Structure 1
Amino acid sequence: MSTVTTPARSYSAEKVEVEAVEYAASPDSTHVPPPPLTPEQEKRLWRKVDKRILPILTIMYLCSFLDRGTSAHRRSEGNAKIQGLTTQLDLTGNKYNIALTMYFIPYCLCECPANLVLKKFKPSRWLPGITLLWGVIMTLMGLVKTYPQLVGTRICLGITEAGLFPGVVYYLTLWYPRHMLQYRVGVFYGGATIAGAFSGILAYGISFMSGTAGLLGWSWIFILEGIATVVVGAIAFFVLVDFPDTAKFLTPEEREYIIWRKKYDNSSVGEEEHFQLRHIKAAFMDWQVWLQIMVYFAVITPLYGISLFLPFGYNTAVSELLTVPPYVCATIVLLIFAVWSDRVQLRSPFVFAGLVMCMIGFAINISDVPVGVKYFGTFFCVSGSYAAFPGIIAWLGNNLAGQYKRGVGMALHIGIGNFGGAIASNIYLSEDAPRYVLGHALELMFVGIGFIFLPITVLAYKRANAIRERQQREMEEKGIKFSPEELRRLGDRAPDFRYTL
C-alpha cells in the first residue's frame, strides 16, 4: 500500500521521480507522468496560476466586503446622519440592527447549497453570475424608499452573496496543495481587509453627492458600489477559469503537474470527484467540522463586531480616517501569518496567536481608559481577528478529503460560523455607546470559547494521527492493503491520511 509519509511534504528530486513512476503505474491512472520540475520552475508555475486566478477573486470579494463594509460604517451616528439613511427610512430603535441581521440569516443558510452546485455550474459561470446578480440588487438597494423594502433587499443580497466566499475557498482547494493554501486565502482576503480600511472613506466621499438626481448620499453609495460590482462580475466571466485539467492558459505539461501534485497532496491514490449523497452525510457527521465551527465563532464574531464600534465618537471625517491604520496593520499581520503558516505547515498556533491579540484588544476597550489607549487596543482587535481568519478557513480545508465532502464541510463550517455576524450586529447597541461594555464583554466570551475549543481540536487531531500511525504499521506488518477505490472512498478517514495541526 502506498503511503503518505507525513503532512510536511518535502518534494526532493528523488521523491518527484518515485511518485511520478507510481502515479503513472497506478491501475486507475489515465495520465502520463509529469516532468520533474526544479524548485525555480515550480515557483514560476504557481506564480503563473496566482496571477491568473487571485487578482479577479480578490476584486470580486473586495466588492462583496465593500458592500457590507459601508453598511457597517453607517453605524456611526454622525456618518448616518450625513448620508440620510436613518432619517429617510425612519430607522428608529433596533430597526437597523434587524436590517443587518436579516442579511446574515439567508447568507448563512444558503452557503452549503451554493457550494454543492459550484462544480455542476462551473466556477467560471457560477461565481461571476452571483457577483453580477448581487451587484444588481445592491444598485436597486439605493432606490428603496421604505424600511420593509430595505429589509427585503438585504435578504436578497444575503442569498446572492452566500455562494462567493465558501465557493472561492473551495475553488482554491481544487488548485493548490493544502500547505500552499493559507497564503492564497490570505491574499484574496487581505484585499477585503484593505477594503475595510477604505470603505468608510469611500462612503464619506460619495455622500457629498447627496441631492444629485433627488437622491441622498446613502442612495448613491449603494448605486455606485452596485454598478462597480456589476462591472467586475461581467469581467470575471471572461477571466476566471474552471479547473486545472481544463485550464487553457497552462501548457499540457503544466496541467499534468498540478493534477499530479493535487493527487499526492493528501492521498496516495487521489480523491473522489463524483457526487453522492453520502458525501453530505459524511460532512455533517464529521466531528472535526463541529469543533472547527466553535473556533470559527471565536474569530468571526469579533471580526464583524469591530466595525460596529469603530471609531470613538469623533466627527465623521476624522472617524473614517482613524479606521485606516488598524486595517492596514491587520493586512500586514495577516500576510505574515499566512506565509509563516504555510512554511511550517501548521495552522493552530497562528489561530491561537490571533485569539490572544483579540483578548488583549477587547480587554483594553472594555476598560475605562482614555480614548487614545482604546484606539491602540483596536489594532489588536482588528489584527488578531483578520489575521486568524484565513488560518481557520485553511485548517479545515486541509483536513477534509474528497472534493464534495470538502465542499459541503467547508460551506457548513462557514455558513453556521457566520451566524457570528448576526450576533455581532445585535450586541453593539446605541444606548451602550461609547464604552459598549456589553458588546465587548460578549466578544471576550467568544474569544474564551476559542481558547477552550482550539486545544481540544488540536488534541483530537494529534490523537487521530497517532492512532493511524499505529494502525498503518500493524497493517504493513500483516500485509493488509486497501485498493485505490477503498482509499478514495475513505478519504480523510484513510489510514495514510494525516491531519494538519
Structure 2
Amino acid sequence: MKFPTLPGKSHRDSSSSSDGKQVAEDIEKTHHEHDNLTPDPDEGLSDAERAKIDRRLLWKLDLRLIPWLALLYLISFLDRTNIGNARLDGLEKALHITGGQYNATLSIFFVSYALFEPLTNILLKKLRPSVFIPCIMMLWGVTMVTMGLTHNFQGMMAARWWLGFAEAGLFPGINYYLSCWYKRSEFGVRAAIFFSAAAVSGSFGGLLAAAIGLMDGIGGKGGWAWIFILEGLATVLIGIASFWMVFDFPDEATFLSVDDRRRVIRRLKEDKQSSAEHESFKMEYFWASVKDWKTWLYAVIYMGCDGPLYAFSLFLPSIIQGLGYKSTRAQLLSVPPYAAAAVLTISIGYIADRTHQRGLCNMGCALIGITGFAMLEGGTTPAVQYAGTFLGALGIYPCIANTIVWAANNTEGVYKRGVTLGFVIGWGNLNGVVASNIYQTKNKPLYRPGHGTVLGYLSLFLLGGSALQYFLLGRENKKRLNGERDGWAEGKSEKEVERLGDWRPDFIYTR
C-alpha cells in the first residue's frame, strides 16, 4: 500500500521509499515460501549474537515509540477530564448551568466517543498513523480552546460532542498500533507505560489546574476558561509536532533500516502474528470479530473497569472537596492517588508479561478496587474515605491497560484485532454516560449512590467477567492441546491455516 508523501516530510520519507517497497516485495515473495517468513538478516549468527541484536532493536523501538505516544495519551486524558477541575474553579456559576446540565456535558462526550471508536482503527490503517493521529489531535485541541470561549450550556454541549468525536481514534488506535510492533509477551508493559499517562494526567491535571486557576480574571476570563484555552493550545502544538514524531507501521517505518524492519516482521510472525503485513480490508474480518464470543466478553470486562475509571477521574476533585477541603487543596489532594495508580499500572504490565496470567492480575486488582470503594461507601471519616480513593485508583487503572492487552493478545489478524479493540473500547467508553450521571449534586457530600454503582461495576463486570473469561480460555486451550481442534486445519494449505488467525488449532490463548 503506497501513500502520498506528506508536505514537509519528504526528507524523512523519500530516502526510504524504495527500501519500503523492497521490504513489501520480500514479504509478498515469502508468502509462498515454506517457512512463511521474511528473509533473515541475521542468518548464520549465534544465539547470543541474535539476542544482543534483538535487545538493541527493542530498545530502539521503545525510545522512538513509547515516550511520545504516552505524552499524546496524557494530553488526551487531561483534555477530556479537566472539566472536573474547571468545575471547582467556577464553571457552573459562569455558564449558569445546573448540576444535571453539568452531568449532561460529561455524558455527551462519551456518546460521540463511543460511536466513532469502532471505525477509527480502519481509518488509522488506511490513512497511516503519521497522518491520522496528528490530524485528530489538532482537531480536538481547537475544540478545547472553544470550550474556554463558550458562554452557555448549549455551547459547552456542542464542544464536548466534537471533543469526543476527535478523541475517539487515539486510545484504540495507539493500542492497536503498538500491538503491530511487539510480541504478545512484550506488549503488556509497553501498553501499561502508555496508559499510565492517564494516571499521570490526573496528578498533573490537579497541579496544573491549581496553577492556571490563579489566572482568574485575566483578559476578562475566569480561571476555568483559561484551563481549557491553555491546554487546548498546547494540544494543537503537540499535534503539529506529531507529524514528525509519529511513525508508520513496521514495514514502512522510516527510523528503521531495511534489516531492522525485516527483524520486526520476523519477530511478529514467529509469535504467530501477521500484524505487520499489508492486508486489504474485507468485511469477513469485521464479521469474524462480531461473531467471536471473546469480543463481547472482553467488552463486558472492559466496561467493568472503564465505567469506574471515568466516574473516578471526572469526580475525584468533587469527592475530595466533599470531604471538607477547599478548591485548591482539593485539586492538590487529587494528585497522590493518581501517582500511586501509575506505579501499579506499570508493575502489573510487567508482571502480566512475565507470568502470562492477565486474568489473575485483573481479578487481584478488582479486589483492591472493591475494597477501596467499599471504604468510600461505608466510611464515616475523611481519613478512611481518602484512603479509599487510593485503593480505588489502584484497583481501576491497572485493569484498563491489562484488559486491552489481554484482548489484543488473543485476537489475531490485522483488521480483526483493530475491529475487536474498537468494539471493546467503544462499548467500555459508552459506559462513561452512566459514570457521568451517578455522582449527583443532591448526593453531596458522601455520594453513596455513585460509590455503590462503581462497586457493582467492579464486582459484577470486572471481577466476574475476568473470572469467566479465564475459565473459558483455559478450557479452550486444553481442547487445543489435546488435539480436539485439529480438524479445523484439515485439508487447508499452510497459508489458509495462517489466515484462521486465533482460530488456528496451534494458537494458544493468554489467560
CA RMSD of aligned residues (A): 2.1
- The one-letter amino acid paired with 2:41 is P
**Whole-angstrom CA distance in 2 between matches of 1:365 and 1:489:** 49
Q: Report if aligned partners of 1:59, 1:232 keep a CA contact under 8 Å in 2.
A: no
> Quick check: 453-462 or 357-366, which moved more?
453-462
Percentage identity across paired residues of the two chains? 37
> Quick check: 106-115 or 314-323, which moved more?
314-323
**Whole-angstrom CA distance in 2 between matches of 1:426 and 1:409:** 27
2:502 to 487, 492, 495: 492
1:462 Cα deviation after fit: 1.2
**Whole-angstrom CA distance in 1 between matches of 2:37 and 2:383:** 63
Write the deviation string for residues 95-130 of structure 1: whole angstroms up to 9, x where unpaired: 000010000000001001111111100001001110
Q: Which residue of 2 aligns with 1:457?
A: 469
- The one-letter amino acid paired with 1:400 is T
Is 1:442 matched with 2:453? yes
- The one-letter amino acid paired with 2:422 is A
2:227 to 212, 218, 221: 221
**Whole-angstrom CA distance in 2 between matches of 1:161 and 1:373:** 36
1:87 Cα deviation after fit: 1.4
Write the deviation string for residues 309-339 of structure 1: whole angstroms up to 9, x where unpaired: 4313301121112111111111111111111
1:274 to 271, 277, 280: 280
Aligned residues: 471
Is 1:254 matched with 2:260? yes
Mapping of 1:343-382 within 5 angstroms? Answer: 343-382=354-393
Q: Which residue of 1 aligns with 2:100?
A: 94
Is 1:34 matched with 2:41? yes
**1:246 to 1:234, Cα distance in 2 relative to 1, 3 A:** same
2:91 to 67, 85, 100: 85
Is 1:392 matched with 2:398? no
1:251 Cα deviation after fit: 2.0
**Whole-angstrom CA distance in 2 between matches of 1:403 and 1:321:** 43
2:394 to 366, 369, 383: 383
1:475 Cα deviation after fit: 6.0
1:273 Cα deviation after fit: 2.5
1:353 Cα deviation after fit: 1.2
**1:221 to 1:487, Cα distance in 2 relative to 1, 3 A:** same
**Whole-angstrom CA distance in 2 between matches of 1:104 and 1:475:** 43
1:228 Cα deviation after fit: 0.3
Q: Report if aligned partners of 1:296, 1:417 keep a CA contact under 8 Å in 2.
A: yes
Is 1:161 matched with 2:171? no
Mapping of 1:150-189 within 5 angstroms? Answer: 150-189=156-195
- The one-letter amino acid paired with 1:292 is Y
**Whole-angstrom CA distance in 2 between matches of 1:473 and 1:233:** 47
Mapping of 1:285-296 within 5 angstroms? Answer: 285-296=291-302
Q: Report if aligned partners of 2:486, 2:505 keep a CA contact under 8 Å in 1.
A: no
Q: Report if aligned partners of 1:273, 1:402 keep a CA contact under 8 Å in 2.
A: no
- The one-letter amino acid paired with 1:372 is A
**1:394 to 1:188, Cα distance in 2 relative to 1, 3 A:** same
1:481 Cα deviation after fit: 5.8
Write the deviation string for residues 138-180 of structure 1: whole angstroms up to 9, x where unpaired: 1122111111011001001100000000000000011111111
1:41 Cα deviation after fit: 2.8
Q: Report if aligned partners of 1:107, 1:162 keep a CA contact under 8 Å in 2.
A: yes
> Quick check: 103-112 or 202-211, which moved more?
202-211
Consecutive unaligned residues in structure 2, runs of 5 or more: 1-29
Mapping of 1:266-345 within 5 angstroms? Answer: 266=272, 273-307=279-313, 308-309=315-316, 310-311=319-320, 312-345=323-356
- The one-letter amino acid paired with 2:236 is V
1:263 to 255, 266, 269: 269
Write the deviation string for residues 357-396 of structure 1: whole angstroms up to 9, x where unpaired: 1110001110142110111111110011011211001000
1:279 Cα deviation after fit: 0.8
1:139 to 124, 141, 145: 145
**1:24 to 1:32, Cα distance in 2 relative to 1, 3 A:** farther
Q: Report if aligned partners of 1:283, 1:405 keep a CA contact under 8 Å in 2.
A: yes
- The one-letter amino acid paired with 2:496 is E
Mapping of 1:407-422 within 5 angstroms? Answer: 407-422=418-433
1:269 Cα deviation after fit: 11
Q: Report if aligned partners of 1:269, 1:484 keep a CA contact under 8 Å in 2.
A: no
**Whole-angstrom CA distance in 2 between matches of 1:371 and 1:30:** 60
1:410 Cα deviation after fit: 0.4
Q: Which residue of 2 aligns with 1:3?
A: none
**1:92 to 1:268, Cα distance in 2 relative to 1, 3 A:** closer
1:137 Cα deviation after fit: 1.0
**1:271 to 1:395, Cα distance in 2 relative to 1, 3 A:** farther
SS at 2:280 equivalent:
coil
